[in-house]
Structure 1
Amino acid sequence: MTSMPSSPLSRVRVGSAPDSWGVWFPDDPAQVPWRRFLDEVAAAGYEWIELGPYGYLPTDPVVLAEETARRGLKVSAGTVFTGLHHGPAVWEKTWEHVSSVAELTRATGARHLVVIPSFWRDDRTGAVLEPAELTPAQWRDLTGQTERLGHEVRERYGLTIVVHPHADTHIDTEAHVTRFLDATDPALVSLCLDTGHYAYCGGDSVELIETYGERLGYLHLKQVDPEILARVRAEGTPFGPAVARGVMCEPPAGVPALGPVLEAAARLDTDLFAIVEQDMYPCAPDRPLPIARRTRAFLRSCGV
């Protein structure tokens, strides 16, 4: 009796992240305690998690390994925040942050480091910190220093960096994302496509996967509410306050449709993490778990 061939979607490993529990900061009274997050993400049916902001989960690798293993959880990636468009002057400070996260990430057995560019306006207050557009020299610094980061992280820690386009950063719109990808070495820099952020900034995730599929190293699954998005874009609302207004919504209520995104990713026929991230800062502590359970059930209906 011959066995049926496995679906390409079987190579997509689904998880969730502290972000889906309203966690944006290492320590904040508005956030759920880390033990509760671990308990609930396991209860929702997820096997994979991200570390979230460094310091939220235990930074002692022995403690972290014990706490995740007894809940049947494994770590897919760590996350770092960078301002590499400022050039070599910020390298040492950046590396100090990156090395701490990379060391913990490696200790968990994860192989990816999600790299988020710095915000040009504050995600709490909306205060403008610098111009929204980079100069040509800043673009050269951003791409060159990111390649350096990719090389150092790979050589020292054996990890792959996946750069995460993000609202209110300099890598956000289709034009900025494609400019960044075209200017960086595929051997050193991969893409973490966040479907919600890309839609928030006007991009088409399926088109990006079909055009730059060889660069895709990681997925964040997220949707935006198109009606709220239209209002916050028209009003120029910063990303943080937009999240507080519910711009990121529970699937399948928003855009983009996640089924076609997953199918496009599956056609690449490569192992891929797809981590659910529904930005909900701040949120009531009892809100995330029911959403997480429904989202996991929805993703199973999509074949993953």
Structure 2
Amino acid sequence: MTSLSSGPAAASSAPALSRIRVGSAPDSWGVWFPDDPQQVPWRRFLDEVAQSGYEWIELGPYGYLPTDPAVLLEETARRGLKVSAGTVFTGLHHGEAVWEKTWAHVADNASLAQAMGASHLVVIPSFWRDDKTGEVLEPDTLTPEQWRNLTTLTERLGREVRERYGLRIVVHPHADTHIDSEENVVRFLDGTDSEQVSLCLDTGHYAYCGGDSVKLIETYGSRIGYLHLKQVDPEILAGVRAEGTPFGPAVARGVMCEPPTGVPALGPVLEAAQKLDVDLFAIVEQDMYPCEADAPLPIAQRTRAFLRSCGA
């Protein structure tokens, strides 16, 4: 693997990452919500993600893309697109009281993902502070009982999603949630059954929270089931950390940046993932909510070209 500093000119010497399947997601088009006037229409997203050279997409927030599988299959197929995963948000640390509500949300997403031929369901823990307003919703640390709820119910979720929908859950460490830092990610992994629960390693969120993606892959490689490729701007990150800025406003300030201008370097991450010798999706997610409608396409095209220069 050539270093990122070598740039696209070194593309011919970069080894093919044969086990890595690259894609993108609505998130890279500024889509965070099922319906929001600041977001691009779903047809434009599908047109532009295909135009950027990607073959794989995620469903994004449930309801943004059509939820009728027949409609969505037709729309994706005629653009040469396939679906890798759906995404759900959960607050399982609250215990059994939230299970039924959680499962209703999961079932809708998992059913659509299954119908689209996806193999994964990305599970994001609930935020402890609001990503728009910054309002603190609950303590930023869990009690021992809440950790037990989180681990046992996530295992149950993994088991039932597999049995009912044939999907594997991959839990996504995320800023402003309780699974964020290296300490909390390791605690979560050590507390869950590897047969039921894998990790969606988001390189940007993990760096945002101080983690080292390559180290995590090398240490917990058997638990890495999925990747989100993302970078953070270290200067903006230092500022938002110092100020205690919530994640949503931090994104609006540009904390998540276009590769290869930020950290972590994605070449070494992809190389470490390839060494695991398993098939992995690596889905580009550059948080940009809100953004101008014309901004995502050229960024996506440049990012896809950059990833090709890394062998992906």
Q: What TM-score, normalized to structure 1?
A: 0.98
The 5-angstrom pairing of residues 129-168 of structure 1 reads 129-168=137-176
Cα distance in 1 between the residues matched to 2:16 and 2:206: 24
Match of 1:90 among 98, 108, 112: 98
Instruction: Note if contact 2:125-2:177 (Cα within 8 Å) is conserved in structure 1.
Output: yes
Letter of the structure 2 residue corresponding to residue 84 of structure 1 = L
Q: Which aligned pairs between 1:271-286 and structure 2 lie closer than 5 A?
A: 271-286=279-294
CA RMSD of aligned residues (A): 0.9
C-alpha displacement of 1:11: 1.2
CA apart distance, 1:8: 6.6
Q: What residue is the counterpart of 2:226 in the other structure? A: 218
Distance 2:179 2:221 in 1: 18
Residue 9 of structure 1: CA displacement?
Answer: 1.2
Q: Which has the higher contact order (CA 8 A, sep 6+)?
A: 2
Which blocks of at least 5 consecutive residues in structure 2 are unaligned?
Answer: 1-14
How far does residue 154 in structure 1 lie from its aligned partner after superposition? 0.3
Residues in 1 aligned to 2:55 and 2:103: alpha-carbon distance in whole angstroms: 30
Which of the residues 85, 92, 96 maps onto 1:77? 85
C-alpha distance in structure 2 between counterparts of 1:287 and 1:70, whole Å: 24
- Deviation string 1:37-84 (CA, Å, 9 cap, x unpaired) is 000000000000000000000000000000000000000000000000
How far did residue 216 of structure 1 move? Answer: 0.4
Aligned partners of 1:8 and 1:267 also within 8 Å = no
Paired residues in the alignment total 299
Contact 2:16 2:311 in 1 (8 A): no
Structure 1 unpaired stretches of 5+: 1-6
Over 2 Å off, 4+ runs: none
Map residues 1-304 of structure 1 onto 2, 5 A cutoff.
9-304=17-312
Q: What one-letter code is carried by the residue in structure 2 that aligns with 1:41?
A: V
* AA at the equivalent of 2:280: L
Identity of aligned residues (%): 84
Distance 2:137 2:96 in 1: 20
1:144 shift after superposition: 0.4
Report how far residue 169 of structure 1 moved.
0.1
> Which letter does structure 2 place at the counterpart of 1:77?
A
Conserved 8 A contact 1:27-1:55 = yes
